[in-house]
Structure 1
Amino acid sequence: MKFIIQRDKLVQSVQDVMKAVSSRTTIPILTGIKIVANTEGVTLTGSDSDISIESFIPSEENGNEIVEIQQTGSIVLQARFFSEIVKKLPMDIVEIEVGNHQSTVIRSGKAEFNLIGLDAEEYPHLPQIEENNVFKIPTDLLKAMIRQTVFAVSTSETRPILTGVNWKLDNDDLVCIATDSHRLALRKAKINTEIQSSYNVVIPGKSLSELSKILDDTSDLVEIVITENQVLFKAENLLFFSRLLDGNYPDTSRLIPSESKTNLTINSKEFLQAIDRASLLAKEARNNVVKLTTLSQGMIEISSNSPEIGKVSEEIQTSEIQGEELKISFSAKYVMDALKALEGTEINVDFTGAMRPFLIRTTHDDSMLQLILPVRTY
């Protein structure tokens, strides 16, 4: 195998596939990146057997030559060394040549590296997915849906199913739900599907976070294919495979209260900043608890009290308060995460009592919902 390639294109592809490479794999060859050169261009693959990423660099793009293939072939190179080498090469052009016994030479300018490669035939094959049921989502919408839900997945392995995001597709409605049993994030969107199937799958949160980092902010469509145990995301020159989590996701619809006793409408940024300030003195506490108390004339008080450190209180004017008076305590971090995920300047918060979950939504937008369980304070 021998080819000459633009360094920046190679660096970008290596960075993308590196997101799937793990140093903690039980299969030694998966610590490498597989490189395949054929007449169309160069394909790089990284995998940790949960996530697999394939990035394709075409020989030419918009009439410009990116890769000059002099001899087709394949090799697996140690990802950690190869990625560092490529980033630090001196010139814009890189030549990669595989000689006898998988010995690989990487040249750029006057720098020359020799790496011992592995036989690409030993590299596990990517899942073969039949693409008969494909649906498409604009990239920017997909990234938004991930951003607005993935932060709420559980980080504990005690219930592995909660470390994923539940994707439910029915006709043209896609609903994404994440919960760690203390909070829940929900985002739904209408998408165009030609398929009549409905899906209910759980995609690991880690996979969605890595996918979101790789995708560009464009309105180009991403094709999504779901099978029994895999999901494939196809963007331009990129394939992203992830395994699905086994098991049934809990029915979260029962968690969401249908009526409320106290409602407030408030500026999202002011609310977020007040909670952020109150949490400054609550950081040492077990779960940085902040208290919200309704006052008269549309005012609320956000306060926090740590006996060893001190206390803080701040009053904020809401746009509107309706219903019963309320004192409620909650995790500052959870509410701040929820507020950052919502779009829009005004938000509605619906409470059903001091010990019941409360809902945070953007005014006039029912596509997003954040639910948070309060904290008992004695």
Structure 2
Amino acid sequence: MKFIIQKDHLVQSVQDVMKAITSRTTIPILTGIKIVASEEGVTLTGSDSDISIESFIPKEENDQEIVEIQQTGSIVLQAKFFSEIVKKLPTNQVEIVVDNLQTTIRSGKSEFNLNGLDSEEYPHLPQIWEQNSIKVPTDLLKNIIKQTVFAVSTSETRPVLTGVNWKIENNDLICIATDSHRLALRKAKIEAAAEQSFNIVIPGKSLNELNRILDDHDEPVEIFVTENQILFKTKHILFFSRLLEGNYPDTNRLIPTESKTDIVVNSKEFLQSIDRASLLAREGRNNVVKFSTMGENVIEISSFTPEIGKVMEELVSESISGEELKISFSAKFMMDALKVLEGSEVKISFTGAMRPFVIHPTNDDSTLQLILPVRTY
């Protein structure tokens, strides 16, 4: 195998596939990056058997030559060393030559020799029949992930809750994440075949890694689903993830359909106010803050930790309707929710001091956050 490649393209591809590689794998060859040179270009693959990422570098793009293939072939190189070497090469032209698993990497006056592994030993990527695809614009997909994935559970006691539940019904994509103390929901209209429907759970870790790879643009990502795998396909990247097994709990009944107290607040002011209140709550039980309505559209936000001190702040809301309310909740959960909601105002709907409450943008029904209160009063 022998080819000459532009360094910046190689570095970008290596960074993308490195997101799937872990040193904690039980299969030694998976600590490597598989490199394949074909007539069309160079393909890099990284995998930890849960996530697999394949990045393709074409021979030319926009009439510019990126790779000159002199001899096709393949090799697996230690990811840790190869990625560090590539980043630090002195010039923008990199020559890679493989002879009997011995790999030479040349750039300018610098030359590295690495021992490679036989690419035939590298596990094959999952086979996914490319039919029944759905298409989601990249910027929308990034938004959906951002607004849900933070609410997945970090505890392995219920593995299915460490993922985000994706459902497709009638061209609606519904994404839900919950750790049983809070819930994030996002709906979006998408392109799908009329009869298409699925109900799957994608690991939160996979979605986080996918989000880091996707660029901000509106080109669509094609998504293919099989029984235990999902494939996200962009122009030059294939991102495979295994799906989580088990039935995701039915969360519909958790979301209240009516409310006793509705409050509309400026989301930025509210977020900053909760942030300040949490400063003295951090040492306490899960940084709990207290929230109460005071009349005249005024809200009081406070926090008290006996050994540290207390903080109290009044905030004028846009409107308050319904019953008076005193409630306590996790400042962290509230801040997480407010950070991902778009729009300058949010509406918070309460159904009582010990019932879950809902936060959503005032002008948008496609997204909501739900939080369970904490008993302190």
TM-score by length of 1: 0.99
Counterparts of 2:161 and 2:112, CA distance in 1: 45
Query: What is the match of residue 97 of structure 1?
Result: 97
How far has the Cα of 1:195 moved from its partner? 4.7
Query: What is the match of residue 27 of structure 2?
Result: 27
CA shift digits 1:81-104 (9 cap, x unpaired): 10010001111110000012x010
Query: What is the match of residue 229 of structure 2?
Result: 230
Counterparts of 2:157 and 2:285, CA distance in 1: 20
Q: Does the Cα contact within 8 Å between 1:133 and 1:195 map onto a contact in 2?
A: no
Counterparts of 2:212 and 2:131, CA distance in 1: 27
How far has the Cα of 1:296 moved from its partner? 1.3
Are residues 1:325 and 2:299 paired?
no
How far has the Cα of 1:14 moved from its partner? 0.2
Q: CA RMSD in A?
A: 0.6
How far has the Cα of 1:132 moved from its partner? 1.3
Query: What is the match of residue 312 of structure 2?
Result: 313
CA shift digits 1:2-60 (9 cap, x unpaired): 00000000000000000000100000000000000011000000000000000000000
Runs of 4+ in 1 over 2 A off after TM superposition: none
Counterparts of 1:264 and 1:286, CA distance in 2: 26
Query: What is the match of residue 364 of structure 1?
Result: 363
Counterparts of 2:366 and 2:170, CA distance in 1: 16
CA shift digits 1:114-135 (9 cap, x unpaired): 1100000000000110011111
Counterparts of 2:148 and 2:20, CA distance in 1: 21
Are residues 1:290 and 2:296 paired?
no
CA shift digits 1:188-237 (9 cap, x unpaired): 00112135221000000000010011000000000000000000000011
How far has the Cα of 1:145 moved from its partner? 0.1
Query: What is the match of residue 147 of structure 2?
Result: 148
Q: Secondary structure at the match of 1:216?
A: coil
Q: Does the Cα contact within 8 Å between 1:97 and 1:104 map onto a contact in 2?
A: yes
CA shift digits 1:134-170 (9 cap, x unpaired): 1100000000000000000000100000000000001
Counterparts of 1:376 and 1:82, CA distance in 2: 53
How far has the Cα of 1:286 moved from its partner? 2.4
Query: What is the match of residue 64 of structure 1?
Result: 64
Counterparts of 2:346 and 2:84, CA distance in 1: 46
Counterparts of 1:320 and 1:195, CA distance in 2: 42
Query: What is the match of residue 82 of structure 1?
Result: 82
Amino acid at match of 2:333: Y
Where does 1:96-175 land on structure 2 (aligned, <5 Å)?
A: 96-100=96-100, 102-175=101-174
Query: What is the match of residue 196 of structure 1?
Result: 195
Amino acid at match of 1:254: R
Are residues 1:375 and 2:377 paired?
no
Query: What is the match of residue 16 of structure 1?
Result: 16
Q: Secondary structure at the match of 2:253?
A: helix
CA shift digits 1:320-354 (9 cap, x unpaired): 00111111000000000000010000100000111
Counterparts of 1:36 and 1:288, CA distance in 2: 51
Counterparts of 1:53 and 1:158, CA distance in 2: 28
Counterparts of 2:374 and 2:84, CA distance in 1: 46
Counterparts of 2:218 and 2:196, CA distance in 1: 25
Counterparts of 2:205 and 2:189, CA distance in 1: 24
Q: Secondary structure at the match of 2:239?
A: strand
Counterparts of 1:370 and 1:20, CA distance in 2: 30
Q: Secondary structure at the match of 2:127?
A: coil
5+ residue gaps, structure 2, are none
Are residues 1:180 and 2:179 paired?
yes
Counterparts of 2:241 and 2:131, CA distance in 1: 18
Query: What is the match of residue 267 of structure 2?
Result: 268
Query: What is the match of residue 352 of structure 1?
Result: 351
Counterparts of 1:194 and 1:275, CA distance in 2: 44
5+ residue gaps, structure 1, are none
Counterparts of 1:306 and 1:93, CA distance in 2: 60
Q: Does the Cα contact within 8 Å between 1:134 and 1:195 map onto a contact in 2?
A: no
Q: Does the Cα contact within 8 Å between 1:135 and 1:195 map onto a contact in 2?
A: no
Counterparts of 2:23 and 2:301, CA distance in 1: 45
Q: Secondary structure at the match of 1:148?
A: helix
Amino acid at match of 1:173: D
Counterparts of 2:144 and 2:314, CA distance in 1: 33
Counterparts of 2:193 and 2:62, CA distance in 1: 31
TM-score by length of 2: 0.99
Counterparts of 1:314 and 1:234, CA distance in 2: 49
Counterparts of 1:352 and 1:171, CA distance in 2: 31
How many corresponding residue pairs?
377
Q: Secondary structure at the match of 1:143?
A: helix
